[in-house]
Structure 1
């Protein structure tokens, strides 16, 4: 998909990968509707846009509330005149604890934001996207969406749901103007644990040396946008995601054991 002169909606745009997605798109000549629950964070993204601020609109939305999402397309169209693509980047993780220790309120929140938030965005914007000459849906799953991570089983389940829904959308929309991409990031150096309100639980914090091996949010955003530009079916972001994808395809049990051992 050509990026220049297109209107993108980016969720989770207040920081991390989402902010870098906004800045990358702006640098390629797109206009962006930046969506996030945190208005202060959105304002930070707006300031980071510098001279391209006039191409950015800010939208404070709770993605787990369907009515708020359903009000969003008209707001975007009123500001930008149209909408050509959505990147469903927003997501939260759970505390790093087993399922039997996780309360139902946290389980519901993770599913509501990660899966239902993505679903609401897709169903709400798709009628508008189908009216455009060329359109795109990019959904961010996770390496944890195809590979089980102990202490993140519900998060993984939510991202696996995003994975399969996105792949189904690709098949349903293959004869339309709307292209669909699913992205599987590996480790990325973001504040998702803090922003999710999820303490590390039994998981040790990453060391500075380990942090150096993670993708930066900027690098992850570049990979995601490149996948969107090229209309890729699936995008593996990071060496760890690519490696574990290969191992998982050959031996799922071994791949799961490797991750479990690494997290001890």
Structure 2
């Protein structure tokens, strides 16, 4: 798919990968419609990208009524939507399933799974009318290999995986391309955006842990390249590629390795 002169919707475009996706899509000649909960972050992204190249909407993607209204309203200003990047997501508190309450469980599922589903389903009739269009859904390394203490997050991302692959099959004979991204550890503000820490606490935690993750701009560049090449799967980062290989080769060994690593992190 050619990016220039297209209009994309990017969820979570106020910060992290969403911001980088927005900036790089604009650099390639697209107009980007940002959806995010954090208005200040959206404004900062818009200033960086250029106000004429970005439109911003403060919306909770887990609110189906709000999403349906947005898709209806946005059509008056932007009748042609060519792509959607379902990037927004949150993690759960780092605790086991037995200690999670259902309010926490439902929040993660609503944002990570139902959010992309609501937006994609609402936009599909319009995408199908375009000469070419694209859907990119962001899953996670945790969507194909389990991480103790992130079971519900992983389940939500595994649901995104199968939803996206089914969409690919259903849209195979149309002009709507579908891409599924599996990021590993990416340097974003996902803990603070998930309400699990302040931005300052998250930054301090990364420094103390000597956090080694792929920069968000490099992750975004790989995703956009996957859209341009109409790839089904894109594994983002060496860790995602390595764990995908190990999990396919020896699932139990890969799970045991992850479990030991998580235990070391808790102990440190």
Provide the TM-score with structure 1 as the length reference: 0.94
Distance 1:209 1:192 in 2: 16
Q: How does 1:31-180 map to 2 (within 5 A)?
A: 31-49=31-49, 52-180=50-178
Output one character per residue of 1:177-236: Cα deviation in whole Å (capped at 9) or x when no partner: 111000000001111011101259xxx94456742x311111111111111111001000
Find the residue that maps to 2:146 and give its secondary structure: coil
Do the aligned residues in 2 keep the contact of 1:76 with 1:83 (CA within 8 Å)? no
Distance 2:7 2:197 in 1: 36
Output one character per residue of 1:160-186: Cα deviation in whole Å (capped at 9) or x when no partner: 000000000000100011110000000
Distance 2:205 2:240 in 1: 20
2:201 corresponding residue in structure 1: none
CA RMSD of aligned residues (A): 1.5
Distance 2:251 2:197 in 1: 28
Find the residue that maps to 2:17 and give its secondary structure: helix
Distance 1:45 1:182 in 2: 24
Find the residue that maps to 1:131 and give its secondary structure: coil
2:228 corresponding residue in structure 1: 229
1:6 corresponding residue in structure 2: 6
Distance 1:25 1:74 in 2: 23
Distance 1:78 1:242 in 2: 42
Distance 1:54 1:81 in 2: 17
Segments ≥4 residues shifted beyond 6 Å: none
Find the residue that maps to 1:106 and give its secondary structure: helix
Aligned residue pairs, count: 258
Output one character per residue of 1:85-138: Cα deviation in whole Å (capped at 9) or x when no partner: 000000000000001111110100000000000100110000100000101000
Distance 1:142 1:240 in 2: 11
Provide the TM-score with structure 2 as the length reference: 0.93
Distance 1:42 1:248 in 2: 37
Find the residue that maps to 2:34 and give its secondary structure: strand
Find the residue that maps to 2:186 and give its secondary structure: coil
5+ residue gaps, structure 1: none
Deviation at 1:73, TM superposition (A): 2.1
Q: Aligned pair 1:240/2:239, yes or no?
A: yes
Do the aligned residues in 2 keep the contact of 1:185 with 1:220 (CA within 8 Å)? yes
